[in-house]
């Protein structure tokens, strides 16, 4: 057998303290093998196996004042002083090797720790103080819980969220004008209610087309994980938990399609039984209840959930001026006690009685307006020969179609013929040689592709970003191919067949200065994605629903845009396509938003379909009536006759005072604290791609296995800078609410590090010199420093001086201070003076010396 290494033998029974978990108490090395130490901690009965070169352990030092057992004799003794060569002197004057003593469980109060010199590193105390400063300033005078989202901060949104969140329960109608961010406001309120634990079970009900948008918004911007409750998810619940199990007991945060709810009415009962804390209904104007009617299915299913009396947010794009009855029906859902069934809504309007304080209805004019829309029609002389497209349209319009099924097929063929020959070819019958030949010719000679190819290179060279909308996936592929061939430019793609992660990547690359200059989207790009940064939108085809066109333009025409919204569309020389373009021009769709006019515009699509089936000519008289009705409704909304009935509305004069409450150094301090804590805890925290982006992960140096809300092995790529995070959807915004930020701050707040310290600092005349004791007391999220001098007098100037950022202190050897005569009694006496302020979270003895350094003017 090989002889044992005497250096390893010397480690046996070595007394240690766990550097990062001192609550384990003193430990002894019991086994040394293969560069591994097995350490027993008797106080807690814990046994740990650690690498021999680990920084986790430090030698046990028994400080002056500590009670201990003299192991050879079993006698209880008290240490008076530590001596050189690892020896100690007892109160009775005896001296002995420190290794013969085993510390008893001492009073671990901060006062007693200080009295015996059991203190933390100054760096740990400074980190704790920075964390406390961060916890204080990120309250932001009440705005704190709204600042963690990956959003640009707009004062009207913060105002609406704050107004709503002040009520309890929160039951609010968000009715801002289209493009001003009602979804953001709802998410801000949701985030606050969840973070302050006022809501746990949350249900978002939205039209099916918007459910994925909600999932993405909640995750990308607020780190909120929701599940989509669809048929597959319901099947999974039944398979895992059994038939009849309540899905809202399986999932606490759910997004549910309105259509899914109507098709599965038992979900309303399940939601009521589970006890939903927060209900959000998007496009709430679809909850209809005419006078004398029990309401449509959506209304009847949502109402019982609302009647639970908890938090409810309703989002509507329909202003009160457009549908007063529908607007009051929504208020009736929120405030049934104020709007009883027999209430006459019109009487209330006629009396100009103010609405209850439960609505937000900000208009563009209230925030100073947004940049104008500028329509740019592209005429035939700019694009070349349209005859191949017109021939294809004529062929499809001229075909006979008897019965509803065949008429439906004919409509789809005409729509696709107007969109792109490739889209039509995809649905033609295999034997339709004429249709295929005309489709291929229309693709080869499409004048829109020729014009777009010429413009695309100029736009790219100018540094522009161009968003192109198409109805069909086949059109998208044609444009990508032709732009590569004709203009030699990179084109990004965004369509429904891409995974959510791939969509994020496509958008992030498109945003980059050196990324693609053009992104081609199907309609899914118009659902929830914001492209304010784009120079223009190109409508390669025009949907037959004006609200679909509005949704496309709305991706650019939103809050945050700083330049006019350039809208490129094609105006064919003849045919149904020209009629549709002219109709939308008459409606003013390319000049100003028409959001909230769904009811008046609902007849436009059927009118276009009728024209397609009857030879391609619109019924001018019928269409003129529809246009006049829509313009009248639009003017009525713009007059805002009922706007003053909303209580405490936002106005642009509030903006400066609201934004002034956002701390200017919040992001910088957050970065400093989290980065320093990562270093302290051994997490890998490295800058990537410049100074603004960090990668953070648990590596093999980590001194903690996990953090609250962050499982071991997690890794993150993100930025503490809001602007940087907004520009790249692929990275996290490392701010309030992010798991790693909250996990680290919780660790610092609840852990042992930095709780007791000795500080030695210098004053250059700011405060008088002296010795004192500093207590850090928490008042909710804020902290309050309190200092007393040797006479027990409170010294607020010292408290402020010692705790100012950055904290400055020389290194202090605890044994020097602790061995001063009467040290322990002095600390205990001062500690009693501070007791009336409450239990401190940290305690520090400090010495302030007067600087002897001469100033530049001194002599």
pLDDT digits (tens, 9 = 90+) for 54-110: 667 888 878 777 888 998 998 989 888 888 888 889 989 999 998 899 888 766 789
Helix H or strand E encompassing 334: helix 324-334
| pLDDT of 287 strictly over 60 | yes
pLDDT at position 638 is 60
What global pTM score does this model have? 0.79
Residue 616, pLDDT > 80, answer no
Q: How confident is the model at residue 855 (pLDDT cuts 50, 70, 90)?
A: very low
Q: What is the pLDDT of residue 470?
A: 96
Which string of DSSP letters, residue by residue, matches 462-528? TT--EEEE-SSHHHHHHHHHHHHHHH---EEEE-TTS-HHHHHHHHHHHHSTTS-SEEEE-GGGGSS
- Cα–Cα dist 764/768, whole Å: 9
> What pLDDT does 322 receive?
58
Mean pLDDT (the chain) is 88
pLDDT at 2: 41
Q: What pLDDT shows up at residue 777?
A: 95
Instruction: Pick the more confident residue, 752 or 417.
Output: 417
Whether the CB-CB separation of 108 and 94 falls below 8 Å is answered with: no
Q: Which of 669, 668, 660, 661 lies closest to 135, judged by CA?
A: 669
Question: Residue 231: which residues within 8 A CB-CB, separation 6 or more?
Answer: 260
**Mean pLDDT throughout 129-137?**
93
The pLDDT value given to residue 525 = 63
User: Which residue in 584, 503, 593 sits closest to 539, CA to CA?
Assistant: 584
Tokens read off for 561? 């845009």
CA torsion, points 386, 390, 393, 397, in degrees to nearest 10?
160
Cα angle: 529, vertex 535, 539; to 5 degrees: 70
Per-residue exposure over 155-181, b if at least 16 CB sit within 10 Å of its own CB, e if not: bbbbbbbbbbbeeebbbbbbbbbbbbb
- pLDDT tens digits along 492-551: 999 988 887 788 788 888 988 899 999 999 987 656 677 889 999 999 999 999 989 998
Residue entry with tokens 């957050």: 670
Q: Name 602's Cβ contacts closer than 8 Å, sequence gap at least 6.
A: none
Distance between CA atoms of residues 160 and 147, nearest Å: 14
pLDDT tens by residue, 775-802: 999 988 889 999 999 999 999 999 999 9
At residue 142's C-alpha, the angle toward residues 137 and 145, to 5°, is 80
> Which tokens in the block code for residue 554?
């709305």
Question: What confidence score (pLDDT) does residue 141 get?
Answer: 82
178: which DSSP letter? T
- CB contact set of 807 (below 8 Å; sequence gap of 6+): 122, 125, 126, 129, 130, 759
Radius of gyration, CA atoms only, the chain: 35
């Amino acid at each position: 057998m090989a002889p044992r290494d005497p250096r390893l033998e010397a480690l046996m029974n070595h007394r240690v303290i766990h550097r990062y978990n001192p609550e384990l108490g003193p430990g002894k090395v019991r086994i040394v093998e293969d560069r591994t130490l097995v350490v027993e901690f008797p106080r807690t009965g814990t046994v740990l196996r650690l690498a021999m070169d680990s920084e986790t352990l430090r030698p046990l030092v028994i400080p002056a004042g500590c009670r201990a057992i003299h192991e050879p004799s079993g006698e209880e003794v008290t240490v008076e002083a530590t001596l050189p060569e690892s020896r100690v002197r007892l109160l009775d004057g005896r001296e002995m090797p420190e290794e013969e003593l085993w510390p008893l469980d001492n009073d671990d109060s901060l006062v007693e720790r200080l009295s015996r010199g059991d203190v933390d590193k100054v760096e740990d105390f400074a980190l704790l103080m920075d964390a406390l400063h961060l916890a204080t300033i990120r309250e932001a005078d009440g705005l704190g819980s709204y600042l963690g989202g990956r959003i640009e901060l707009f004062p009207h949104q913060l105002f609406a969220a704050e107004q709503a969140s002040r009520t309890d329960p929160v039951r609010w109608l968000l009715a801002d004008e289209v493009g001003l961010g009602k979804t953001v406001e709802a998410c801000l309120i949701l985030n606050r209610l969840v973070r302050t634990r006022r809501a746990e079970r949350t249900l978002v009900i939205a039209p099916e087309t918007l459910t994925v948008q909600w999932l993405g918004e909640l995750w990308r911007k607020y780190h909120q994980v929701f599940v989509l409750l669809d048929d597959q998810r319901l099947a999974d619940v039944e398979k895992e938990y059994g038939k009849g199990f309540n899905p809202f007991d399986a999932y606490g945060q759910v997004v549910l399609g309105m259509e899914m709810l109507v098709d599965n009415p038992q979900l309303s009962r399940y939601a009521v039984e589970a006890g939903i804390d927060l209900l959000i209904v998007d496009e709430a104007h679809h909850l209809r209840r005419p006078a004398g009617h029990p309401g449509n299915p959506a209304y009847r299913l949502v109402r019982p959930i609302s009647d639970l009396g908890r938090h409810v947010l309703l989002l509507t794009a329909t202003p009160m001026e457009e549908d007063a009855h529908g607007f009051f029906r929504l208020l009736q859902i929120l405030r049934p006690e104020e709007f009883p069934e027999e209430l006459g809504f019109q009487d209330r309007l006629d009396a100009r009685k103010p609405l209850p304080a439960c609505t937000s209805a900000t208009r563009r004019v209230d925030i100073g307006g947004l940049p104008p829309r500028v329509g740019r029609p592209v005429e035939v002389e700019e694009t070349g020969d349209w005859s191949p497209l017109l021939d294809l349209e004529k062929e499809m319009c001229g075909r006979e179609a008897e019965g509803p099924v065949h008429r439906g097929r004919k409509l789809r063929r005409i729509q696709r013929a107007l969109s792109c020959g490739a889209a039509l070819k995809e649905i033609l019958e295999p034997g339709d040689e004429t249709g295929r030949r005309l489709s291929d010719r229309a693709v080869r000679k499409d004048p829109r592709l020729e014009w777009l190819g010429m413009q695309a290179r100029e736009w790219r060279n100018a540094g522009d970003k161009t968003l192109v909308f198409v109805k069909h996936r086949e059109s998208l592929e044609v444009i990508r191919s032709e732009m590569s061939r004709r203009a030699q430019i990179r084109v990004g793609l965004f369509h429904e067949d891409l995974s959510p992660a791939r969509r994020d990547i496509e958008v992030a690359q498109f945003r980059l200065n050196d990324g693609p200059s053009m992104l081609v989207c199907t309609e899914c790009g118009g659902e929830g994605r914001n492209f304010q940064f784009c120079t223009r939108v190109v409508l390669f085809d025009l949907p037959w629903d004006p609200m679909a066109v509005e949704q496309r333009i709305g991706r650019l025409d939103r809050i945050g845009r700083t330049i006019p919204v350039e809208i490129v569309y094609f105006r064919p020389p003849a045919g149904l396509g020209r009629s549709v373009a002219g109709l939308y021009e008459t409606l003013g769709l390319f000049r100003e938003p028409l959001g909230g006019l769904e009811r008046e515009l609902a007849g436009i699509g059927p009118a276009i379909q009728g024209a397609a089936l009857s030879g391609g000519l619109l019924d001018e008289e019928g269409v003129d009536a529809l246009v006049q009705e829509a313009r009248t409704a639009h003017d009525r909304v713009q007059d805002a006759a009922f706007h003053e009935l909303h209580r405490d509305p936002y106005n642009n004069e509030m903006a400066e005072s609201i934004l002034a409450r956002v701390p200017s150094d919040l992001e910088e301090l957050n970065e400093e604290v989290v980065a320093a804590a990562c270093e302290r805890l051994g997490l890998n925290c490295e800058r990537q791609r410049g100074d603004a982006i960090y990668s953070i992960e648990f590596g093999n140096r980590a001194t903690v296995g996990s953090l609250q809300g962050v499982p071991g092995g997690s890794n993150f790529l993100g930025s503490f800078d809001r602007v940087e995070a907004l520009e790249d959807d692929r990275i996290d915004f490392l701010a309030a609410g992010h798991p790693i930020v909250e996990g680290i701050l919780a660790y610092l707040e609840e852990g042992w590090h930095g709780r007791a310290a000795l500080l030695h600092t210098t004053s250059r005349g700011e405060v008088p010199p002296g010795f004192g004791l500093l207590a850090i007391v928490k008042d909710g999220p804020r902290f309050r420093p309190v200092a007393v001098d040797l006479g027990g007098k409170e010294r607020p100037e010292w408290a402020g001086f010692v705790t100012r950022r950055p904290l400055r202190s020389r290194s202090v050897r605890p044994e020097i201070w602790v061995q001063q005569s009467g040290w322990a009694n002095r600390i205990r006496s001062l500690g009693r003076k501070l007791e009336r302020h409450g239990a401190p979270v940290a305690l520090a003895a400090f010495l302030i010396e007067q600087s002897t350094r001469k100033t530049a003017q001194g002599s």
